Structure formats: C-alpha cells, structure tokens
Amino acid sequence: MSKLKLIAGIILLAIIIFLIRNIIVGEPPFKEMDLSFSTNTIQNYSSVAYLDTISHVGIHELEIDSVSVVLLDIPSHIIHEIMVGDQVNGFVLQVTDSLYQIYINPKLSRRQHINIIAHELIHVEQNISHRLIMLDSPFVFWKEDSLDVSVIDYKNREWEIEAYQNERTLESQIKESLY
C-alpha cells in the first residue's frame, strides 16, 4: 500500500469514528418551535445556549404567566463549596414576586439540564403560589408554617420533597414539547 493510500485510509477511519461517536453520544436537536405564545420573559446569561428554550417550555407546562426568569451559571467555586460531598447543580433565588434568578451548573448534559430546570421551575411555582416564601435567612414560610431551614435536613424539606416528586412529570412534558 502506498503511503498516500495509508494516510487517506487513516483520515477516513478518523472521520467514521467521529461520526459514529456523534450518533451514539450526540443529543438530538429540538424541534422547531414558536415561542411567541409565551407571556414570560427568559433572559439567558448562562453559557449554555439552549437553557432558555427548556425554561420557556417548562414554565408554559406549569401554566405560569407574566414572570421573568434570568438564567445564570453557578460560579464554579460555589458548585464545589456549598455542600461538601454533594455537588450543587442548580438553585433559584426570588428577586421579586415576578422575577427569579435560576443558577445552573453549565457543565452537564442536556438531559441533566432538563432535569435541573424542571426542579427549579417547580420551586418558582411554589413561590408564585405563595406556598413557599423566602423570609430573612434562614427562615422560610411553607404552607402554614414559618420554619428555620438551618435545622431541617435538605432531604426532609417538604418543598424539596414536592419538587423531587413532581420533577419527573415536568421533565417528561418538557421533553415531549422539545423533541
């Protein structure tokens, strides 16, 4: 075999491996969508281009109107520092009744991003419906009670239990709209 053929063969093999890898691990594109139905404003300042599309669809599924959401990357030092041994991939801050900041770990797969946005949007809905009200830290108002968050384990917080229970359903609804 000539040297030229060998090089051409190697290049061809590399292209084939690249294509197969993309088919196996690549994520399917979203279908074309008209988001003009939305009365909500999503501003995406995160480094992940598609987070606003996921958020628009999720917020619509929750039947939330006239809310503004700002999407941001979690600063990398916080991802590792908030909870030792338990990576933080997302959290939401209420700025006003109709303005929320959602912080997301940008270094995740699209599937994980859909899961995290679903979870955080459920917290937004809890805030909007006034079932969850953030009082001065570390206190929150949940349903009928004012609670000190610092003495309740993360996994025992009722608003978290509710978010984990409902996130799968919302996640499926988002995926159904996107793909």
132 bridge partner residues:
142
Written as one letter, the residue type at 55 is: S
Stretch that binds Zn ion, among 48-56, 64-72, 141-149, 153-161 (CB under 5 A): 153-161
SS3 126: helix
The site string for Zn ion over 109-148 (x = CB under 5 A, - otherwise) reads: ----------------------------------------
Q: Give the CA radius of gyration of the chain.
A: 21
| For Zn ion, the closer CB: 56 or 119 | 119
Looking from the CA of 148 toward its CB, the CA atoms found within 13 Å total: 2
State in angstroms the smallest separation of the CB of 8 from Zn ion.
54
Stretch that binds Zn ion, among 43-51, 93-101, 133-141, 161-169 (CB under 5 A): 161-169
Written as one letter, the residue type at 99 is: L
State in angstroms the smallest separation of the CB of 17 from Zn ion.
40
Number of residues forming the site for Zn ion (CB under 5 A): 2
State in angstroms the smallest separation of the CB of 104 from Zn ion.
12
Written as one letter, the residue type at 7 is: I
SS3 63: coil
115 neighbors 173 (Cβ within 8 angstroms):
no
| For Zn ion, the closer CB: 27 or 81 | 81
| For Zn ion, the closer CB: 3 or 155 | 155
How far apart are the C-alpha atoms of 108 and 115, rounded to whole Å?
Answer: 11
Residues near Zn ion (CB under 5 A) are 160, 163
